[in-house]
Amino acid sequence: MSQSAVLDGAAPPQDLAAVSDSLFRRDMLACLRERPRRISPKYFYDAEGSLLFDRICELPEYYPTRTELGLLTRHATRIAQLIGARAEIVEFGAGSLRKIRLLLDALEAPARYLPIDISGEHLAACAATLRGDYPALEVTPVVADYTRRLLLPAVTGPGRRVGFFPGSTIGNFTPDEALRFLTLAAQTLRGGGLLIGADLVKDPDVLHAAYNDAQGVTAAFNLNLLARANRELGADFDTGRFAHAAFYNAPLQRIEMHLMSLCAQQVRIGDECFDFAEGESMHTENSCKFTIDSLRALARQAGFEPGPVWTDPQRMFSLHWLRAPD
């Protein structure tokens, strides 16, 4: 039987879908009421958004996925030695579960895999496929917001609990949010460790192309946030009146994604009406870029002990092993 974690102070597992809808409504209304407008990128990932992100990962301009896959492939044996036998793997923001397969194939008798994701429907489908491919592995999907404290099942085997956080998702947080997440992760993974991917600072032209692909998939991914609000919250966003905008903010070393209003317009959710001026935007995502030293310093501040680091010859992306002291 699969188990589910719950958010701190939230409803029991059977009510997680209702909790998710309630949080999305609360945060979208808060976003629309404030200036400047900003909403968490976690709301990109409904079933449609998760599928669109899987397409982004295959785009020729989007280097992070293939670069990280290459690092995992080349260094899987060494990573497996660091993780150890009979380990329990917790993946934060599991998505399509593609990268974990490279680890599972290299690990010695992994005891259990707990993929955590906010998109329950997408997670359930991917977990079912993984169970079929790894029948000896206990797969326990956890539908939750991994940025909050989690109530995970107790460790049952003799191995360590190890976290996996690929994709440079750490870059979607503000510096304070990143520190809070890593601090919570260090506590959750005590006695084990965390394998984390971090995108590196590089030529802005490369970054611009990665977030403004020629096929427009990233634009569709960004605009799906508004379509999701229409589907789930009864909003009346006209997605044709908003445009995807992504650019590199060099002083802050981050890509910013926005949804920009193409005209003066009003949007309604329930009884509330919100004005958008022409050119006004909703800030939907940051994707911070790191140096190797800045990621290691952040990890130390959170309570980890930085270990080996792997990067590609062009230094596009990095993969870090962080020990979590007991």
Pick the more confident residue, 316 or 153: 316
Average pLDDT, the chain: 91
309 to 105, 198, 320: CA distances (angstroms) = 21, 10, 5
Q: Which pLDDT belongs to residue 90?
A: 96
Let me know if residue 70 belongs to a domain.
yes
Segments forming the whole domain that contains residue 236: 1-242+289-326
CATH number at residue 232: 3.40.50.150
Let me know if residue 272 belongs to a domain.
no
Q: Which pLDDT belongs to residue 21?
A: 67
Let me know if residue 217 belongs to a domain.
yes
Query: Is pLDDT above 80 for 241?
Result: yes
262-286 mean pLDDT: 97
Let me know if residue 156 belongs to a domain.
yes
Query: Is pLDDT above 80 for 309?
Result: yes
Query: Is pLDDT above 70 for 9?
Result: no
List residues bridging with 274 in a β-sheet.
Answer: 267
Number of domains in the chain: 1
Let me know if residue 273 belongs to a domain.
no
Let me know if residue 250 belongs to a domain.
no
Residue 14 pLDDT class (50, 70, 90 cuts): very low
Q: List pLDDT tens digits, range 105-143.
A: 999 999 999 999 877 777 888 889 999 999 999 999 988
Residue 18 pLDDT class (50, 70, 90 cuts): low
Q: Which pLDDT belongs to residue 12?
A: 39
Let me know if residue 282 belongs to a domain.
no
292-299 mean pLDDT: 98
Q: Which pLDDT belongs to residue 119?
A: 74
Let me know if residue 266 belongs to a domain.
no
